[in-house]
Amino acid sequence: MGTRVAARQVLRWAVTNATSSVFSPLRGGRRPLQPLCTGCRFLCSSSSQNTLQQHNHEVGPQSRKPVTELSLHSLVDMGFTDSQSEQIYEATSNLRGGSAARHALSTLTALFVLGLNPSTVLRLLEKCPELYTINESQLQQRIGNMRKLGLVEGSLQRVVSYYPQILTVPVKTVKSVVLFLREKCQFTVQQVTDILRDSPTVVLEKRGQLEYKFQYAYFRMGVKQAWMVKSRYFRFSLDEVRCRHCFLERRGLYQTPDKKGQTLIINPKLDDIFNVDEDGFLTHVANASAEEFEVFGKLLAREWQEEQHQHGSVEADSDDDEDEEDEENEETAGKGGYMKRRKK
């Protein structure tokens, strides 16, 4: 329902923009009659497109020039307030190059078609101004790809609202991350969809860091894929994961399960470790003070720096030979690395 209302809103603006002369308050002068923008094509039904094509034919050849930028008047017609229109107009003007002015219309149209209201659209553009520079074809492909990956209506809107940067990521990159999660990490199709919905930042995370984060939870903490997904594990940074886990481990409050998945103590759940603020973590899980945790964090950071310095040359050599190793050798090397850290 929301998508239909948004589509009608953009269509109404487009028809108004096509049939009336618009004055641009910041540029001055009279602007010739403009047709429906190319960015509106994908939101219209075939019958609507036929009607608009007939209207454009009646207006005349002069109106066939595509709209390449927005005026304050046209932004207000799309549903933005005067102040919001000024913000968007100023943002497109300040961005370097002409791509923002050329693609602003298709960007706004695509976001409206998703069912987002003007206030939400403005907030997304403030969080991710790069969206102004993406052309219509790329936006359609990326949104379509997310739908194919299982992000249906509702979930798709929440993902874009939470992390609009996902629309700046090429389809090829997203597919590569999905393939890695499916084949290397052995997540199911539905689990991958849940990860993209709850932790969309994985699409821009460095592959090595993403792999290490998975292996850390799987081998070092003994956490299976289902619990990683349920706890939204991939939302947290690697430093935060290691710091909280090591703090509990060295206090005797967390133990890596053996080969049978058994421990001598009852480990706290991932939700209790990560899905709480620092005060909640220290009070209800670690039973420690903020000062203790702060000092531990500094000492642990120093340990990591020394470890990276000692093993830097070894890691560089292993990277050169990585392509020549088979999957069995890679898995063995990963386990060995984590076992070394656990013995410390």
- Give the predicted TM-score (pTM) of the model: 0.69
Q: Which residues contact 337 (CB under 8 A, 6 or more apart)?
A: none
Domain extent listing, the chain: 1-134, 146-234, 236-344
Residue 206 and residue 230 in contact, taking contact as beta carbons nearer than 8 Å: no
Amino acid at 179: L
Please give the structure tokens belonging to residue 237: 């940074």
How far is Cα 9 from Cα 11, in angstroms, rounded to an integer?
A: 5
As a whole number of Å, the CA-based R_g of the chain is: 26
What does pLDDT average to over the chain?
A: 77
pLDDT at 180: 97
Residue 60's CB is within 10 A of a number of other CB atoms, namely 10
Of residues 252 and 81, the one with the higher pLDDT is 252
pLDDT band at 3 (very low <50, low <70, confident <90, very high): low
Measured between alpha carbons, how far is residue 173 from residues 177, 189, 323 in Å? 6, 17, 20
Please give the structure tokens belonging to residue 137: 């074809």
Measured between alpha carbons, how far is residue 299 from residues 69, 247, 256, 280, 293 in Å? 54, 11, 22, 22, 10
pLDDT at 231: 93
Handedness of CA 284, 288, 292, 298 (dihedral sign): negative
pLDDT at 69: 56
Amino acid at 27: R
Span 41-63, average pLDDT: 44
Q: What is the pLDDT of residues 143-164, one digit of tens each?
A: 999 999 999 888 999 999 999 9
